């Protein structure tokens, strides 16, 4: 690979002149610039990104940290982020925490070591646990999906309360009263918000939500499956289920299917977020879907802006909330007449 010294030698100028010609063209004489540029392109010279990173302290990579790449929500998001990054001439350094805060910490240290220009983070840290590694991070960082108040960081996400509220209202309007929610741990931002949306809407309809009506499926399909089985083994069966995520909804649907409980005739089911090929799943699950492309683009943009203005006096942290869309499927009906 050609180095800047090769170019300098061939152009019969010093390496500093070459560097200047390339990075600050106005500071060298036009003829010199021409000569340097011509030679540089003729031997296919381009500056070594590693050397530039060492000198400047930042690379042309952005880090993306998610809890589970396999979740289609993150998959789609990642795709969009990668497209954006490519346009801006950045590469994506990806990592998956698997929901382990210790690993999240390790990953972020790794990324910092690689001098990523910034990080897009969907943290798996729960309320009450330490978030010092985020707070003390000395580089641009935009949180998405999972928020932490009072962290003073940018955030891009969806209106999770609204998502749950829309779905709950839909069920209430159909006449359901006995509704269960399958959610995540309350330590997780999105599950807390989604639970709130559920509780508030129920309460507004004059129905008090008992704690045992909100079950923790940990955002996992297998847990949702088990819980649903158990739920319908008991005496008091709900007539409808609000699933706090796409995979929870699918796990629940699988359980209903295996129990030969008809959805929507016997039990209605709604969920949050889409899955690929949802049109082929019978019944198609009525859901409040996040606008992933908007979300990804906005998060990328915000990060890029932070990267650009890094070092200057930073703007106030910004929060951007998108509204989910209600997509009707065939998974809801009036409750069976009792």
Is 321 one of the binding residues for DNA (CB under 7 A)? no
> Interface residues for DNA in 133-172 (CB under 7 A)?
none
Residue 205, burial from CB neighbour count under 10 angstroms (0-12, 13-18, 19+) = middle
- Select from DNA, its own copies, none the partner in contact with residue 279, using the beta carbon and a kind-dependent cut-off of 5 to 8 Å: its own copies
> Measured from the CB of residue 19, what is the shortest distance to DNA in angstroms?
3
307 lies in the binding site for DNA (CB under 7 A) = no
What the block records as the tokens of 104 is 């999240």
- Judged by CB under 7 A, the stretch of 4-12, 64-72, 170-178, 309-317 that binds DNA is 4-12
Residue 261 is encoded by which pair of tokens?
């409980």
Choose the stretch contacting its own copies; rule: CB under 8 A; options: 6-14, 85-93, 167-175, 185-193. 85-93
Q: Which of 112, 118, 120, 123 is nearest to 61 (CA)?
A: 118
Please, what is the minimum distance in Å from the beta carbon of residue 137 to DNA? Answer: 17
From candidates 18, 45, 72, 303, binder to its own copies by CB under 8 A: 72
Task: Say if residues 181 and 245 touch (Cβ distance below 8 Å).
Answer: no
- DSSP structure string for 165-203: HHHHHHHHHTT---EEEEE--TTSHHHHHHHHHHHHHHH
Between 214 and 272, CB nearer to its own copies: 272
Q: How far apart are CA 216 and CA 237, in angstroms?
A: 17
Of residues 10, 17, 180, 223, which one binds DNA by CB under 7 A?
17
Neighbours of 197 (CB within 10 A): 26
Which residue number, 51 or 204, has a Cβ lying nearer to its own copies?
51
Q: Is 182 in a helix, a strand, or coil?
A: strand
Backbone angles phi, psi at 212, to 5 degrees: -75, 5
Check residue 271 for interaction with its own copies (CB under 8 A).
Answer: no
Closest CA to 264 of 280, 253, 275: 253
Nearest approach, Cβ of residue 184 and DNA (Å): 40
Helix axes 15-23, 4-11, angle to 10 degrees: 100
Q: Contact between 27 and DNA (CB under 7 A)? A: yes
Give the three-state DSSP class for 207: coil
Residues of span 179-218 touching its own copies by CB under 8 A: none
Using CB under 7 A, which residues numbered 30 to 89 contact DNA? 30-32, 45, 47-48, 50-52, 54-56
Report d(CA 240, CA 198) in Å as an integer. Answer: 13
Residue written as tokens 């960081």?
153
Residue 43 makes contact with its own copies by CB under 8 A: no
Q: Least separation, in Å, of the C-beta of 226 and its own copies?
A: 15
51 binds its own copies (CB under 8 A): yes
Residues near 312 by beta carbon (within 8 Å), at least 6 away in sequence: none
Give how far Cα 331 sits from Cα of 10, 19, 88, 266, Å.
Answer: 72, 63, 42, 10
Q: Which helix H or strand E contains 64, and what residues bound it?
A: strand 61-66
Which does residue 15 bind out of its own copies, DNA, none, counting CB within 5 to 8 angstroms by kind? DNA
Residue 151: contacted member of its own copies, DNA, none (CB under 5 to 8 Å, by partner type): none
Verify binding: residue 28, DNA, rule CB under 7 A. Answer: yes
Residues forming contacts to its own copies in the complex (CB under 8 A) are 46, 48-51, 53-54, 59, 61, 68-70, 72, 75-76, 78-79, 82-83, 86, 91-96, 103, 110-111, 113-115, 250, 253-254, 257, 275-277, 279-282
Residues forming contacts to DNA in the complex (CB under 7 A) are 1-5, 12-17, 19-20, 22-23, 27-32, 45, 47-48, 50-52, 54-56
């Amino acid at each position: 690979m050609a180095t800047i010294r090769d170019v300098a030698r061939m152009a019969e100028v010093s390496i500093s002149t070459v560097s200047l010609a390339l990075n600050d063209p106005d500071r060298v004489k036009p003829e010199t610039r021409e000569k340097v540029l011509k030679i540089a392109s003729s031997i296919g010279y381009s500056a070594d990104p590693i050397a530039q990173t060492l000198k400047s302290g930042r690379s042309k990579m952005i880090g993306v940290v998610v809890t589970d790449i396999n979740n289609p929500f993150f998959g789609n998001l990642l795709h969009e982020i990668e497209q954006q990054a490519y346009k801006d001439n950045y590469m994506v350094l990806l990592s998956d925490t698997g929901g382990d805060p210790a690993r999240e910490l390790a990953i972020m240290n790794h990324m910092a070591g690689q001098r990523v220009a910034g990080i897009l983070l969907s943290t798996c840290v729960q309320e009450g646990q330490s978030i010092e590694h985020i707070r003390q991070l000395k580089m641009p960082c935009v949180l998405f999906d999972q928020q932490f108040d009072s962290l003073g960081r940018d955030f891009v996400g969806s209106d999770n309360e609204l998502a749950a509220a829309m779905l709950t209202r839909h069920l209430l309007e159909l006449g359901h009263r006995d509704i269960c929610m399958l959610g995540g741990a309350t330590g997780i931002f999105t599950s807390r918000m989604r639970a709130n949306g559920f509780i508030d809407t129920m309460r507004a309809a004059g129905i008090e939500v008992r704690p045992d009506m909100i079950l923790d499926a940990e955002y996992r399909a297998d847990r949702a499956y088990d819980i649903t089985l158990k739920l319908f083994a008991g005496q008091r069966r709900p007539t409808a289920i609000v699933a706090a995520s796409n995979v929870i909804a699918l796990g629940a649907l699988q359980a209903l299917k295996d129990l030969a409980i008809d959805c929507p005739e016997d039990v209605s089911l709604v969920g949050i977020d889409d899955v690929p090929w949802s049109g082929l799943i019978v019944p198609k699950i009525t859901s409040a879907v996040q606008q992933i492309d908007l979300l990804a683009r906005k998060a990328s943009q915000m990060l890029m802006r932070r990267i650009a203005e890094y070092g200057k006096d930073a703007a106030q942290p910004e929060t951007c909330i998108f509204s989910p869309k209600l997509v009707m499927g065939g998974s809801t009906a009036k409750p069976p007449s009792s």
